[in-house]
Amino acid sequence: MGTMTEHTSTGAGHGRAVMPIIRMRARSRDENHRASTPLELFFDLCFVVAAAQAGVQLVHAVAEGHYVDGIAGYMFVFFALWWAWVNFTWFASAYDTDDVPYRIATFVQICGVLVFAAGIPDAFDGTDRTTAIVGYLIMRIALTCQWLRAASGESGAARTTALQYAAGLVIVQAGWIVLLLMPASAWIPGFFVLMIAELAVPAIAERNHQTPWHPQHIAERYGLFTIIMLGETIAAATIAVQSGIRDFDAADLLIPIAVGGVLIVFSALWIYFAVPIHEYLADQGNRAVLLWGYGHYFVFGSAAAIGAGIEVAVEEAVGEAHISTFAASAAVTIPAAMFLIFVWLMHSRHFKRDRIEQAVLPVAAILVLACTFAGHWAVPLAGLVAAGTVGVGVGLSTRSKS
């Protein structure tokens, strides 16, 4: 059990035997068929719990007309979720050994996710952020131990990078503890300072040596998380159908919302996966890759917010939301437009061949926003715009190839 052996790459990880303890060394970027492991998929699913909690709180806040507080709370909660997921994903792409210590450390991070999720309702409205921050610290402490373990198995520049990651994590987490002890008035400026510090850790740690993440693996991991976030919209559309069945008088409003929501999520999925992003990532330097990875905060956040917006639209249609039809429509169209814009900005534009192709997603985002003024037909019209965007994109792609 205590024998230390060198780590050797054996492919995707699905068929690898789990060794008790092996020396943690960086995996090769040239591995064939590198795919997500069952442990990574399980890790993602645990984030669904926390993302759903954030969505529920956003729905309640917007439905009651507390727009600013709701959006601010959602941004804080989602940043913590997204950043913990991002750090785990990139570390796993470079150092996944899938042995006993690695699995235990991952399970500890999952426990942190669950604690964080339990604290989301209080953290969202600012009444008590203690539970959420404790959960976040659990996730980060486990990751710090992973980086220290990586440092013990590396040498030279790779070892320095791992140690800088660990040191950066410790410093920033100490900052969160200090912020928790400070007066409530310090929360907003302190949050933004620590958010910048969190984002700076990878840039500083990797300025002289880049960890050997795998382009295809990272592209798949981000794609899978996008699917999970879009899944919230499918759940919201289901709620619309159920409400229509129970409240027959509102069915003429709820069924179109459900159809529009489904069209939006189907189109979003199609648009996101229309490009082989791993080819772009493989050819880019560290700065461009960091920008792509960081920019997905808005991709993931807007994808999840679409589902929350659908639920708000449903509540307004049945008279349970204390907001106008325009505001309820905007709860869907704004995140849908944001998704289109940020997928284009961070993802799709790198593969567009001319100005016409480049204009498709930005124009579609504008048209989706214009649907906000269509009253109760805003969501189905936005869905038709999204579906039409896919059709135009497919047509232009065919034109380019012919």
Structure confidence by residue, pLDDT tens digits, 196-226: 999 999 999 988 888 888 999 999 999 999 9
Say which CATH number the domain at 355 has.
Answer: 1.20.1410
Residue 315: pLDDT band (50, 70, 90) is confident
Query: Do residues 83 and 197 share a domain?
Result: yes
Query: Do residues 246 and 131 share a domain?
Result: no
Q: How confident is the model over 72-101, as pLDDT tens digits?
A: 888 888 999 999 999 999 999 999 888 899
Query: Do residues 199 and 232 share a domain?
Result: no
pTM to 2 decimals? 0.86
Query: Do residues 86 and 150 share a domain?
Result: yes
Query: Do residues 341 and 291 share a domain?
Result: yes
Residue 244: pLDDT band (50, 70, 90) is low
State the residue range of the domain holding 245: 215-401
Distance CA 263, CA 267 (A): 6
Mean pLDDT computed over every residue of the chain:
87
Query: Do residues 260 and 178 share a domain?
Result: no
Which residue do the tokens 């699917």 mark? Answer: 227
SS3 339: helix
Q: How confident is the model over 29-74, as pLDDT tens digits?
A: 888 888 889 999 999 988 888 888 888 888 888 888 888 888 888 8
Give the single-character DSSP code of 321: S
Query: Do residues 193 and 232 share a domain?
Result: no
Q: What is the pLDDT of residue 28?
A: 81
Q: How confident is the model over 155-172, as pLDDT tens digits?
A: 899 999 999 999 999 999
**Considering the domain boundaries, does residue 25 fall inside one?**
no
Total structural domains within the chain:
2
Query: Do residues 137 and 241 share a domain?
Result: no
Cβ burial of 49 (10 Å; 0-12, 13-18, 19+) is: middle
> Which of 141, 172, 205 is a domain's end point?
205
Query: Do residues 200 and 223 share a domain?
Result: no
**Considering the domain boundaries, does residue 48 fall inside one?**
yes
- DSSP character string of 274-315: TS-HHHHHHT--HHHHHHHHHHHHHHHHHHHHHHHHHHHHHH
Query: Do residues 119 and 260 share a domain?
Result: no
**Considering the domain boundaries, does residue 11 fall inside one?**
no
**Considering the domain boundaries, does residue 233 fall inside one?**
yes
Q: What is the pLDDT of residue 12?
A: 42
